[in-house]
Structure 1
Amino acid sequence: MKKLLYKFLILTLLISCGGDDSIFLDYKNMTNGWEYENPVEFSFDSPSEAVNIYILLRTDKSYPFSNIFIKSQIVSENNQIVDTIELDLKQEKRTLFSGNSLSLNNHSFIIAKNISFKKSKVTVKFNHANRFLDSVDAVKNLDGILSVGLLVDNYQNEEL
């Protein structure tokens, strides 16, 4: 039943995108949370024009934090961008892909704005880096993460 719900949500999101702005959209589903040692990886062919890159997170009520730390790596033919970012799941600006239902939360965060690549294959990897207060080690399995997605769309010079 959950898989049917996910397929319906993804189909709805694809249909609601409607325009020609979306270049790439994909989700990776997690079976039992997000394991620290299993990064999520996406690959797409970059267009010649500038793009925005978003991370999409789907969580449920069992997610134990109000934020998430993400290690991101964007690799193209001649470039590599590595960053660790903190995403505040409670204070995000609502977008098309964000919203809440009774037990499901969708979050959308821009991680690269107005970025250009040579026409090449681009690989984006995400891994979480959350830890508990008294620990230096990352949480081995981050419960409550149902899926991690990537959205790439054409850059438009307007406030997001």
Structure 2
Amino acid sequence: MYKRLISLFLIIFIVAACNSNAVYGEYKAIKGSWGKGEKVDFTFVPPDSLNAYNVFINLRNDEKYPFSNLFLIVNLDFPNGKTVSDTLEYEMAKPNGEWLGKGFSSVKENKLFYKENVVFPTMGTYRIAIEHAMRKNGNVSGVPSLKGITDIGISIEKSAEK
């Protein structure tokens, strides 16, 4: 019994130590499909206003995802009311259709750069809101219900650059 408990604590310690640069991370599940205009929100307080951090968007998708790329609209709201809005495109599959990302099952996990070496200049609560901006070729209106994205998250890590 004690050996199993010690083994469990050792595994937890090793997993936690694998990414010692992480200062924040959270995932939110997408139930069924991701609706057009449906924002996934994350709030966080950065540890300081001096050091640089890398911010990642983390996605999990399964074989139901119908596209080889992904367009996102990401808003970063500062504590002082300022908002920075970005439209981003990420490649999700190779030209041969093989999914990018990590994972041995039908679910693949992608860690996508959002902001690199960003300093959060104002202390307080920040908000990141993410929504998809997918459209089919030749169609002006967006995809009303995006299937195949199972979870979306963000992670913030200390930047290696100083």
- Same fold at TM > 0.5: yes
**Identity fraction in percent:** 25
Secondary structure at 1:108 match in 2: strand
Provide the residue aligned with 2:8 in structure 1. none
Provide the residue aligned with 1:57 in structure 2. 59
Provide the residue aligned with 1:124 in structure 2. 128
Which whole-Å deviations, capped at 9, do the CAs of 1:115-160 have from their partners, x for residues lacking one? 11122211001000001112111111100010101001111129xx
Deviation at 1:80, TM superposition (A): 2.2
Secondary structure at 2:79 match in 1: coil
Are the structure 2 counterparts of residues 143 and 155 from structure 1 closer, same or farther at C-alpha, using a change threshold of 3 Å?
Answer: same
TM-score, normalised to structure 2, is: 0.79
Cα distance in 1 for partners of 2:112, 2:19 equals 20
Alpha-carbon contact 2:52-2:161 (below 8 Å) kept:
no
Secondary structure at 1:111 match in 2: strand
Which whole-Å deviations, capped at 9, do the CAs of 1:61-92 have from their partners, x for residues lacking one? 0100000000011111244211101001125x
Provide the residue aligned with 1:138 in structure 2. 142
Provide the residue aligned with 1:3 in structure 2. none
In the comparison of the two structures, how many residue pairs are matched?
140
Cα distance in 2 for partners of 1:152, 1:122 equals 12
Are the structure 2 counterparts of residues 17 and 67 from structure 1 closer, same or farther at C-alpha, using a change threshold of 3 Å?
Answer: farther
Secondary structure at 1:85 match in 2: strand
Higher mean displacement: 39-48 or 18-27? 18-27
Structure with bigger gyration radius: 2
Provide the residue aligned with 2:87 in structure 1. 84
RMSD: 2.0
**What are the ranges of 5 or more consecutive residues in structure 1 without an aligned counterpart?**
1-11, 92-97
Provide the residue aligned with 1:111 in structure 2. 114
Deviation at 1:18, TM superposition (A): 3.7
Q: Aligned partner of 2:63: which letter?
A: K
Deviation at 1:17, TM superposition (A): 5.3
Q: Aligned partner of 2:137: which letter?
A: L
Deviation at 1:23, TM superposition (A): 1.1
Which whole-Å deviations, capped at 9, do the CAs of 1:4-54 have from their partners, x for residues lacking one? xxxxxxxx8x93554431111111101112111211000000122211100
Alpha-carbon contact 2:37-2:132 (below 8 Å) kept:
no
Secondary structure at 2:123 match in 1: coil
**What are the ranges of 5 or more consecutive residues in structure 2 without an aligned counterpart?**
1-11, 95-100
